[in-house]
Chain A
Amino acid sequence: MKNQYLALTFLAVVILTIGFLNHNDYYFNILNILFLKGLIVIGLSLLMGYAGQVSLGHAAFYGLGAYTSGILTAKFGWGCLPALGVAQLVTFIAALMIGLPALRLKGHYLAMATLGFGVIVYIFFKELISLTGGPSGLVGIPPLEILGKVFMESREYYFLFGGILFLALLGALHLAHSPFGRGLLAIHDSEAATVSLGYDTNRLKLIVFLLSAALAGLAGSLYAHFAMFIAPTSFTFLHSVKLVTMVVIGGVASLWGALLGAAVLTILPEVLTVFEDYDVLVFGAILVLIMIFLPEGLFKGLGKWIGQFRHKIAT
């Protein structure tokens, strides 16, 4: 955990330095979206890397958070914080309904069930027009207001989202290094052995799943207020897949890796703009190449490469 504190301090310094030195709102907005994606992948990384379960419906939890917050504030005039609370409750209940039965079974049932769940939720976003605004989206979501402070500037959102991401990462790292986290990691390796050690593996898995859904819901609520507009196209099955891809690209079973994956997949398309129309092709190719040559993900893979490189220099 000592190394982790060092890395966390470093992260905090980087976030603060960028926050104070940067004056370009475009960069802030890219980073804001990255921070929100980071929140989701932290939960997803715990679920995939530690509990060995895959969710193909996390965009739906993200969307549930966004739409609950959005609808309550835009249509019913609620305050942002109470709406956020209800949004957390809604995502929690939804996750419980899916997770409770699916996680009793061994295998990839959670993946399948969340896939179906994601599609259903997306259809409801599109069809409950009187509530959600339908396919053309929900307008009139107010900017975030916490205890009288209204967030207007991209920089303000940057510090808020950065702070929340930092706290979430801190919490997740603690969890991963606690007996609870070690129990989870054991499930990933051998569920039967974990049971024999006296862990209630179903409960562990369920708790992680609920936690990851709650984080996605939180990111959704924040996104709704940040963008002030949401539409169903941001919460499709393909977005769920993209979130899973972020975790895998970075390296399953590594929270830092997942964040790296989120950063790469959020920033890469912006950089690929130089390829003009061919950017989709380059993006797909890069994805395939990373997975072929660094099957354990960028984080570990790059680490190994750097290790070998050092070794070469030394000899």
Chain B
Amino acid sequence: MSELIQFIFSGLTNGAIYALIALGFTIVYNATEVINFAQGEFVMLGAMFMATFCALGLPIPLAFFLSVGIVALIGIIMERLAIYPARHASHITLIIITIGLSILIKGVAMFAWGKDPLSVPSFLGDTPIHLLGATIVPQKILVLIATLICVLLMELFFRKTMVGKAMRASAVNRLAARLVGIKVEPLVLLAFALSAATSAVAGVVISPITFATYDMGTLLGLKGFSAAVLGGLTSGLGAVVGGFVLGLLEAFAAGFISSAYKDAAAFVILILVLLLKPEGLFGKGATKKL
């Protein structure tokens, strides 16, 4: 029993991270129909800035907001410099641009921070908490809380604010949105900023657990993307659920089946979901069977 709970804790923590990254994917996808392969690099940048600010001795809350803010700014710059000039190109061209950007960002990070992993202090200390026969460190609880807050804020933003509603409208039908007077370009910019920020949050909160390395983003990005696909790629809620499902599956596979094949287990589920329930767990049901 305590083992099962331990696996659930582990799965939820990793799942929360995947959920945040997946959320970033869906925000950009909804705004542009582009899969942003540089998404994982935002996670890395968040962790890296956090490590730097902590090393400079800044208080943790300040370091947190500075890191997230800077990464959001990088998201904006990236959109202006690389995505906006090519906005009329095909989706696949834009996707390749994001691949190039991810190579570029990773390269810059390698020079800026070096190749060794950097350590980040835990926000609330390292004393583990015992719960139902299992143990969990405060940082992991923090990861969960941060994820939930982020998801709630996003949900509020998209449901309750005018800008959020406009973004949802232009995701559903860009032309119609334009017709009712919504300016789409600033919304795309905002989407990049938001998606960079959510991913940066993921990077910041996980950095004390996993350390910060210049090449940590790629695999996390891939996992986050899989979670987004699992959730249907268009639904924010789906992305979050997809993230947690993926995290739990990995933990259960590592705990109960075999740690060697745990990643394979997660991706087998991904393929099965794709083929059996193609719209994803929470997709818009837009799939047409011909």
Which A residues lie at the B interface, using CB under 8 A? 48, 54, 98, 101-102, 104-107, 109, 112-113, 115-117, 119-120, 123-124, 127, 191, 195, 201-202, 237-238, 241, 244-245, 248-249, 252, 277-278, 280-281, 283-288, 291-292, 295-296
Partner of B288, one of A106, A278, A287: A106
Residue B180, interface by CB 8 Å: no
Residues of B within 8 A of A (CB): 37, 82, 85-86, 88-90, 92-94, 96-97, 99-108, 110-111, 218, 222, 225-226, 229, 260-261, 263-264, 267-268, 270-271, 274-275, 278, 286-290
Q: Are B267 and A120 in contact (CB under 8 A)?
A: yes
Complex interface: chain B residues within 8 A of A238 (CB): 218
What is the CB-to-nearest-CB distance from A144 to chain B, in angstroms, rounded to a whole number? 32
Q: Which A residues touch B287, using CB under 8 A? A: 105-107, 109
A102-B275, A112-B229 known; A285 and B104 CB under 8 Å?
yes
B110, A116: Cβ atoms closer than 8 Å: no
Asked if B275 and A101 make an inter-chain contact with CB atoms under 8 angstroms apart, the answer reads yes
In the bound complex, how far is the Cα of B110 from the Cα of A283, in angstroms?
14
Q: Is the CB of B96 within 8 A of A245?
A: yes
CA distance in complex: A86, B86 (Å): 45
CB <8 Å contact, A241 and B99:
yes
Q: Which residues of B contact A107 (CB under 8 A)?
A: 278, 286-288
In the assembled complex, the CB of A2 is this many whole angstroms from the nearest CB of chain B, namely: 29
Cα–Cα, bound, A244→B37 (Å): 13
* Chain B residues whose C-beta falls within 8 Å of the C-beta of A241 in the assembled complex: 37, 99
Contacts of A296 in B (CB 8 A): 89, 93
Shortest 7 CB-CB distances between A and B: which pairs?
A287-B100, A284-B104, A295-B89, A284-B103, A288-B100, A280-B107, A281-B107
**Given known contacts A280-B103, A281-B108, is B290 in contact with A295 (CB within 8 Å)?**
no
Q: Could you tell me if A123 and B96 are in contact, using CB atoms closer than 8 angstroms?
A: no
| B270→A116 contact, CB < 8 A | yes
- State which of B268, B286, B290 has its C-beta within 8 Å of the C-beta of A201: B290
Cβ–Cβ contact B289 & A104, under 8 A: yes
A116–B89 CA distance with the chains assembled, in angstroms = 27
Set B96, B104, B108, B267: member contacting A119, Cβ < 8 A: B267
Which of B82, B99, B108, B268 touches A292 (beta carbons < 8 Å)? B82
A-B contact pairs, 19 of them (CB 8 A): A98-B271, A112-B270, A113-B271, A113-B275, A116-B268, A116-B271, A119-B263, A120-B268, A123-B264, A127-B261, A248-B93, A252-B92, A277-B111, A278-B107, A280-B107, A285-B104, A287-B96, A288-B82, A295-B89
Task: Select which of B82, B103, B105, B289 is within 8 A of A106 by beta carbon.
Answer: B289
How many Å from the CB of B42 to the closest CB on chain A? 16
Q: Is the CB of A116 within 8 A of B226?
A: yes
> Which of A115, A291, A296 has the most chain B CB atoms closer than 10 A to its own CB?
A291
Complex CA gap A123/B89 in Å reads 35
Q: Is the CB of B261 within 8 A of A292?
A: no
The contact of A285 among B94, B100, B111, B222, by CB within 8 Å, is B100
A207 and B45 alpha carbons, distance in the complex (Å): 43
